[in-house]
Amino acid sequence: MNAQPGSTKHGLAAGMKPTRADWTIDQGWDHYGPAEHATWKVLFERQSRLLPGRACDAFVQGMRDLPIAADQIPDFRRLNEVLLRRTGWQIVAVPGLVPDEVFFEHLANRRFPAGHFIRKPHELDYLEEPDVFHDVFGHVPMLMNPAIADYIQAYGAGGLRAQKLGVLAQLARVYWYTVEFGLVQQKDGLRIYGAGIASSASETLFALDDASPNRVRFDLPRVMRTHYRIDDFQETYFVINDLDELLSLASIDFAPLYAQVQHQPEFVPGQVLPDDVVLNRGTGRYHDTRRGGK
């Protein structure tokens, strides 16, 4: 797969093509400088203070078992020694976002593409492309869990099929509201398992502690019909009962579901439906204010 000419979206200069067909590059660990390790440290320490009591048990356990620490950006080779042994996954370095089919092909083969660069100091709270902090701190601890490991592989395989069926948007919503922004109901309370939340200080607090967003029981066809926000906090978070619930999703044949939901109305991110099992009905205040409302 080649970069579109003139595109800089995938982190390559205009007109440049990736050297390898699968878009992987060397992490180039030796090339990180002190400023980059320092950015990692700021992010790592901030999240490490916030996540106890907020991240799910699997995340905490995965983090504990990995060679990840505050002092430096992890070396993928060292992470892979542990990860490969635990769940058969490995991390491969990429320049940034890669085309959908390249992404799915990696996941279907238990390779997680991780951005090799780290955000600049002025982007600590928000950036568009997944960097090494989001990908490694957010995703890799969860890949140490067998249920998540199988689920994300199934998503990759499902993505390749969904693309052929023209229903990628519906599948991408499932990924978004689980792997990226999912919450799980533990016995001791609501917890984060989504990497987009776990790698963001402000969204960690917003998703769990703020009165604004809705927290709704996860329902597959409902989620497939729900638009999401890529530019701001989510208006609704979907809650699973345990990580094994994702595994049961992985074995569902999505094809009949796609046929069913494809022609049904879709929902805007903040919408609460009569059939929803609502854990918290949000005030909507945060997004109302942003929209210039009340």
Which residues bind to Fe ion, rule: CB under 5 A? 195
In whole angstroms, the minimum distance from the beta carbon of 178 to ligand HBI comes to 11
Q: Which does 270 bind (CB under 5 to 8 A by kind): ligand HBI, Fe ion, none?
A: none
- Spell out the long-range contacts of 72-80 with Cβ–Cβ below 8 A and sequence spacing 24 or more: 72/32, 72/37, 72/40, 72/41, 73/29, 73/32, 73/36, 73/37, 73/40, 73/118, 73/132, 73/136, 74/136, 75/27, 75/29, 76/27, 76/29, 76/114, 77/27, 77/29, 79/136, 79/140
Shorter beta-carbon distance to ligand HBI: residue 75 or 100: 100
Q: How far apart are CA 200 and CA 130, in angstroms?
A: 12
Q: How do beta strands 90-94 and 111-115 pair?
A: parallel
CB contact at 8 A, 246 and 206: no
Q: Which does 11 bind (CB under 5 to 8 A by kind): ligand HBI, Fe ion, none?
A: none
Q: Which does 97 bind (CB under 5 to 8 A by kind): ligand HBI, Fe ion, none?
A: ligand HBI
CB contact at 8 A, 197 and 134: no
Shorter beta-carbon distance to Fe ion: residue 134 or 282: 134
Amino acid at 183: L
Shorter beta-carbon distance to ligand HBI: residue 203 or 284: 203
In whole angstroms, the minimum distance from the beta carbon of 191 to Fe ion comes to 18
Q: Which does 237 bind (CB under 5 to 8 A by kind): ligand HBI, Fe ion, none?
A: none
Q: Which does 254 bind (CB under 5 to 8 A by kind): ligand HBI, Fe ion, none?
A: none
Share in percent of the chain as helix, strand, coil (round to 5): 45, 10, 40
In whole angstroms, the minimum distance from the beta carbon of 65 to Fe ion comes to 20
Residue 25 pairs in a beta bridge with 93
In whole angstroms, the minimum distance from the beta carbon of 158 to ligand HBI comes to 10
The number of C-alpha atoms within 13 Å of 269 and in the hemisphere containing its C-beta is 20
Phi (first) and psi of residue 80, to 5 degrees: -65, -30
In whole angstroms, the minimum distance from the beta carbon of 92 to Fe ion comes to 14
Shorter beta-carbon distance to ligand HBI: residue 63 or 94: 94
Shorter beta-carbon distance to ligand HBI: residue 163 or 186: 163
Give the footprint of ligand HBI on this chain (CB under 6 A): 94, 97-98, 100, 103, 113, 130, 172, 175
Number of C-beta neighbours around residue 51 at 10 A: 21
In whole angstroms, the minimum distance from the beta carbon of 172 to ligand HBI comes to 4
Shorter beta-carbon distance to ligand HBI: residue 133 or 175: 175
Q: Which does 113 bind (CB under 5 to 8 A by kind): ligand HBI, Fe ion, none?
A: ligand HBI
Number of C-beta neighbours around residue 203 at 10 A: 23
Shorter beta-carbon distance to ligand HBI: residue 51 or 167: 167
